[in-house]
Amino acid sequence: MTRASHALASQDAYQLWAATYPPEAHNALMRTEHARVSRIIEELRPARALDVGTGSGRYLAVLAEAGAGLAVALDFSSRMLARISRDTPRVCGDARSLPFAAGTFDLLNASLVAGDVPDLTSWLAGLARVLSPGGHLIYSDFHPSWSLYGWRRTFQTTDGRTIEIPYATHTIDDHLKAIRDARLTEISTEEIRLRDEETTEVTRFRERWGDPPVLVVVHAMKAM
């Protein structure tokens, strides 16, 4: 028997998900996102980085390999932070109210956090505050096509329940306006499709949905 889907608030859902959350990009969408964001990080060569909404810390190795002498992991789920295997500073905190001084980091990465944030403008303003002059912000979001097609964010618990995590839908114009309002300079706003993979997951997705964009990846910079 298929169990009914239960919706939980984001923080409660991630606390529950932590028990089974994989340490690596675990599906086609995550692998697509990880490949694109990793390339940007590698090009920037940051010295002091903050991974916002780090989850199980899959970007910490990328940041270290890109040269970051300091890479701080922040998440509002203490159980997610406990899953991190790397020896790195960890802060349990809210991505909407960062507990750091102004200008602390020269790179911020926020992978798929924007969907948990209804107010992009205030969130980006908070991120911009802790960026140093000339610092870079990279963040990804679920493409607005998710709302168009009625796609859901779900995961399975250890006891077989399907848990749904609600998400806020942001249009491309929402992202661009929030970047301007935060006094950041847009470098790129990319609408990303699933990368080619010879997997059943991707084949079935394209058979049903075609090849719509599934992600937005934003790269912005704080003025010097």
Segment among 14-18, 74-78, 79-83, 95-99 with least mean pLDDT: 14-18
At the top level of CATH, the class of 5-222 is alpha beta
Q: Which of 82, 79, 60 is nearest to 71 (CA)?
A: 60
Output the CA–CA distances (angstroms, integers) from residue 103 to 8, 50, 54, 106, 222, in the order listed. Answer: 34, 12, 20, 8, 10
CA 182 to chain centre: 19
Residue 2: predicted pLDDT: 35
Residue 44: predicted pLDDT: 97
Indicate whether 63 pLDDT > 60: yes
Beta-carbon count within 10 A of 7 CB: 12
pLDDT band at 74 (very low <50, low <70, confident <90, very high): very high
Q: Which of 27, 105, 28 is nearest to 63 (CA)?
A: 105
How many residues in the chain? Answer: 224
pLDDT band at 6 (very low <50, low <70, confident <90, very high): low
Indicate whether 86 pLDDT > 80: yes
> What does the pLDDT average to over 77-92?
94
Q: What is the DSSP letter of 36?
A: H
Indicate whether 3 pLDDT > 50: no
pLDDT band at 1 (very low <50, low <70, confident <90, very high): very low
Indicate whether 4 pLDDT > 50: no
Contact 172, 144 (CB under 8 A): yes
State the Cα–Cα distance between residues 45 and 22, nearest whole angstrom.
Answer: 26
Residue 196: predicted pLDDT: 94
**Structure pTM?**
0.93
pLDDT digits (tens, 9 = 90+) for 88-145: 999 999 999 999 999 999 999 999 999 999 999 999 999 999 999 999 999 999 999 9
Contact 113, 53 (CB under 8 A): yes
State the Cα–Cα distance between residues 206 and 221, nearest whole angstrom.
Answer: 34
Residue 77: predicted pLDDT: 94
Q: Which of 126, 124, 149, 118 is nearest to 138 (CA)?
A: 124
Q: What is the percent of the chain with per-residue pLDDT over 90, rounded to a whole number?
A: 83
Q: Which of 57, 58, 53 is nearest to 74 (CA)?
A: 53
State the Cα–Cα distance between residues 155 and 38, nearest whole angstrom.
Answer: 24
